[in-house]
């Protein structure tokens, strides 16, 4: 009976790991409404932990109060916070460089993995 419990625990752990890995890569499929935004650092010096404010009304998303946002850079989520019609995030910017991010609209009633 003991080997059966060990195998069952191992399979449960494997299922949990696989579901977590899937959740990390499915943002584009889960939330198809998005806008691409270009962030520009005009300075010849690197800016680490730069605070960026995006006006969501300029991105023409409608009914902002019922939605939250996910911000992705190169497929990785960037921590962000929506306050009113503004979206704030912190990111690193290389000297005199441009960086594209993806601002994805998602309903707040949906689970966010």
**pLDDT digit string (tens) for 51-90?**
999 988 888 766 667 678 889 998 899 999 988 888 999 9
pLDDT above 70 as % of the chain? 60
Residue 60 structure tokens: 């023409």
CATH of segment(s) 31-107:
2.60.40
**pTM here?**
0.63
39: Cβ–Cβ under 8 A, 6 or more apart, which residues? 52, 91, 93, 98, 99, 100, 101
């Amino acid at each position: 009976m003991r080997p059966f419990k060990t195998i069952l625990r191992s399979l449960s752990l494997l299922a949990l790991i696989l579901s977590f890995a899937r959740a990390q890569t499915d943002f584009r499929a889960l939330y198809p409404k998005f806008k691409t935004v270009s962030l520009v650092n005009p300075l010849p010096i690197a800016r680490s932990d730069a605070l960026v404010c995006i006006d969501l009304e300029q991105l023409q998303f409608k009914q902002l109060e019922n939605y939250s946002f996910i911000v992705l850079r190169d497929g990785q989520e960037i921590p962000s916070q929506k306050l009113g019609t503004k979206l704030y995030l912190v990111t690193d910017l290389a000297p005199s460089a441009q960086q594209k991010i993806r601002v994805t609209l998602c309903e707040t009633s949906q689970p966010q993995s």
